[in-house]
Amino acid sequence: MVLKKLLLMGPVLLLQACMTIDYVPEEYVLADGRILQFPVVGTVQVNNLQPNDDKSIFFDGSSTWQGSYKSVTEHLRWQLDKEIQKNGIKESGADQKTIGVKVSNLTVTSAAFHFTSAVEFTVYLGNGEILAKRVTQGSPGNIWRVLNGTLALGVIETLKDEKVRKYLAQ
């Protein structure tokens, strides 16, 4: 009976190992205080500048994780906008600020039940400044958590950048 169950489980395990998973980012909620409040003069519009909607492979291991850089950038844009609204101290001013973001690379590697993710993206400020960003993090958790957490860390990294803070305060 045990042998029969093992024989039936074999194909299931093989199918899971060959599975392709479409990664659609979900919010990794940032606790209050993770981003220090900052002044914002005027309104801010955050734009997704990534036109590439083709599928790319982010992880190829026991299963393949894929997604589009446009979708990943849209999530980064959304969470960046959310955190600006949450942590920005609005000061009077009619100026409209723009911030563009574009994710160019997202990867996951694994070693001994530990995942490490890296994201490379560019931040375009409305004053013409262009900032290249790279964020990495690791977790013994799962790939979803590591990918979503890396994007959240990208938001933190962007909003602690002195050039971004100065631009928003002008």
Q: What is the pTM of this model?
A: 0.87
- Tell me which of 2.60.40, 1.10.3470, 3.40.50, 3.30.460 is the CATH number of domain 19-169: 3.40.50
Q: What is the pLDDT of residue 13?
A: 37
Structure tokens at 47: 């734009």
Q: Which of 119, 107, 17 is nearest to 57 (CA)?
A: 107
Structure tokens at 149: 């957490």
3-state SS class at 122:
strand
Q: What is the pLDDT of residue 85?
A: 97
Q: What is the pLDDT of residue 15?
A: 40
Q: How far apart are CA 143 and CA 157, in angstroms?
A: 21
Q: Which amino acid is at 156?
A: I
Could you report the average pLDDT of every consecutive run of 10 residues in the chain (170 residues)? 42 54 96 96 97 96 94 98 97 90 97 92 98 94 92 98 97
Q: What is the pLDDT of residue 10?
A: 40
Backbone angles phi, psi at 117, to 5 degrees: -120, 145
Q: What is the pLDDT of residue 7?
A: 38
Burial of 78 (0-12, 13-18, 19+ CB in 10 A): middle
Q: How far apart are CA 169 and CA 166, in angstroms?
A: 5
Q: What is the pLDDT of residue 16?
A: 43
Give, in order, the Cα–Cα distances in Å from 168 to each of 40, 88, 134, 135, 157.
Answer: 5, 9, 21, 22, 15
Residues paired with residue 40 on neighbouring β-strands, in sequence order: 90
Backbone angles phi, psi at 143, to 5 degrees: -65, -40
Q: What is the pLDDT of residue 139?
A: 86
Structure tokens at 80: 């960046």
Q: What is the pLDDT of residue 113?
A: 82
